[in-house]
């Protein structure tokens, strides 16, 4: 097949999607705004650069370039990832078959910014032959909020690269006897890292043998580091900046508990990766998270923006290694059963082929 993705080439989700189909022997094109952060062997990347250095003013010039490129490429499948930017382009290219993927914020957050964004989200979704949502929650909102017929909406979670993220063969290799808490969400408002930091004084007051590793980058980095200093908990916190994707496995294997404090989530891949590594996860009860974590069975859920509740969950798990192991084992089983990236993509390939055949006879 000849596949054209209109998507963010800097996103690991786009890269994994493209590389999967290249490995299957397909011809893959990506039309994007920014170049990928690594070389993509076998993928043809078309960068539509900014003219006016303004997202809105650049939309029409970029759209025209996309139209000419798609007309030249003549893909068997056109697939836009993330509705609020790339889906808006794809909807008005007049090309079919067209698939759109909703990742989370493009359904749960962005449409609420203005009536215009709500309108364009709805009209774009309705122009797709098939819409993929990364969680049941998002799929339900695509149908109920935007009027897309349910047979055209399919659940396709991001999934986990289980060849990379897997249960560790042995114990932690750091030699540190401290209980290590790991967070690796980006330093943005939506991920609410300050709730984790605000929980630290409550935790270390009762158990000073707990350490926090906060991996990430983003515009809130300085304010988060200042908050750590203000609370006087610097000795318990280690900030880690950007690391290669493959290095996350080592960080996960060397932690005891994984924490996510996001205020909104579809299918949080970072959480699923921790589950694949058999780590007990403490995660905010938002969006599609509860589709993966059953509180007390394979992880723990807590109320967003509640550092005291988070602290209590951390202390309970830190004091109970048997429960940590049980939650981790059960979490790993969930990923084996329905979170394996390769099984998910086998189904996607079948859906691609069916859609191509359907349009070939029309």
Q: For 179-338, CATH number?
A: 3.40.50.2000
Rg (CA), the chain: 21
The CB-side HSE value for 161 (13 A sphere, CA atoms) comes to 14
pLDDT of residue 175: 56
pLDDT digits (tens, 9 = 90+) for 32-67: 999 998 888 999 999 999 988 888 899 999 999 999
pLDDT, mean of residues 107-125: 96
Q: What is the pLDDT of residues 81-113, one digit of tens each?
A: 999 999 999 999 999 999 999 999 999 999 999
- Looking at the predicted structure, is the pLDDT value of residue 361 above 80? no
Domain boundaries, the chain: 2-159+340-360, 179-338
Beta bridge partners of 46: 31
- Separation CA 332–CA 340 (nearest Å): 11
Burial of 4 (0-12, 13-18, 19+ CB in 10 A): buried
Confidence of residue 235 (pLDDT cuts 50, 70, 90): very high
pLDDT at 137: 93
Residue 300: how many other CB atoms lie within 10 Å: 25
Burial of 205 (0-12, 13-18, 19+ CB in 10 A): exposed
Using the predicted structure, report yes or no on whether residue 172 has a pLDDT greater than 80. Answer: no
* pTM of the predicted model over 0.85: yes
Arithmetic mean of pLDDT, 235-241: 96
For residues 342-349, average pLDDT:
96
Q: Which residue has the tokens 């939309």?
A: 59
CATH 2.60.120.200 at 2-159+340-360, yes or no: no
What band does 181 get if pLDDT is binned at 50, 70 and 90?
very high
| Structure confidence at residue 37 (pLDDT) | 84
Distance (Å, whole) CA 192 – CA 220: 10
Structure confidence at residue 98 (pLDDT): 98
Question: What is the DSSP secondary-structure string of 251-318?
Answer: HHHT-SEEEE--SS-SS-HHHHHHHHTT--EEEE--TTGGGT--BTTTBEEE-TT-HHHHHHHHHHHH
**Are domains 2-159+340-360 and 179-338 of this chain identical in fold?**
yes
């Amino acid at each position: 097949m000849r596949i054209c993705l209109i998507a963010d080439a800097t996103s690991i989700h786009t890269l994994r999607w493209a590389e999967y189909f290249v490995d299957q022997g397909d011809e893959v094109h990506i039309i994007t705004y920014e170049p990928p952060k690594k070389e993509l062997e076998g993928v043809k990347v078309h960068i539509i650069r900014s003219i006016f250095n303004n997202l809105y003013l650049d939309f029409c010039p970029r759209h025209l370039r996309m139209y000419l490129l798609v007309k030249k490429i003549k893909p068997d499948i056109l697939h836009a990832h993330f509705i609020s930017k790339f889906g808006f382009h794809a909807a008005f290219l007049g090309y079919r078959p067209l698939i759109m993927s909703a990742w989370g914020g493009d359904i749960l957050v962005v449409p609420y910014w203005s009536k215009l964004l709500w309108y364009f989200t709805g009209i774009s979704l309705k122009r797709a032959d098939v819409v993929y949502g990364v969680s049941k929650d998002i799929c339900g909102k695509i149908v109920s909020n935007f009027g897309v017929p349910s047979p055209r909406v399919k659940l396709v979670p991001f999934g986990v690269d289980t060849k990379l993220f897997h249960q560790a063969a042995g114990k932690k290799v750091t030699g540190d006897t401290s209980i290590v808490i790991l967070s690796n969400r980006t330093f943005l408002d939506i991920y609410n890292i300050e709730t984790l930091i605000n929980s630290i004084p409550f935790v270390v007051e009762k158990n000073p043998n707990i350490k926090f590793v906060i991996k990430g980058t983003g515009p809130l980095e300085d304010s988060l580091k200042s908050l750590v200093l203000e609370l006087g908990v610097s000795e318990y916190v280690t900030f880690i900046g950007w690391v290669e994707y493959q290095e996350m496995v080592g960080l996960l294997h060397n932690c005891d508990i994984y924490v996510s404090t996001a205020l909104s989530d579809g299918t949080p891949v970072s959480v699923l990766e921790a589950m694949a590594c058999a780590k007990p996860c403490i995660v905010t009860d938002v969006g599609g998270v509860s589709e993966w974590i059953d509180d007390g069975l394979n992880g723990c859920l807590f109320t967003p923006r509640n550092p005291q509740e988070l602290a209590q969950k951390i202390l309970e798990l830190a004091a109970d290694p048997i429960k940590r192991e049980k939650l981790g084992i059960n979490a790993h089983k969930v990923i084996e059963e329905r979170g394996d990236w390769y099984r998910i993509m086998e189904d996607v390939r079948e859906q691609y082929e069916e859609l191509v055949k359907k349009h070939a006879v029309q």
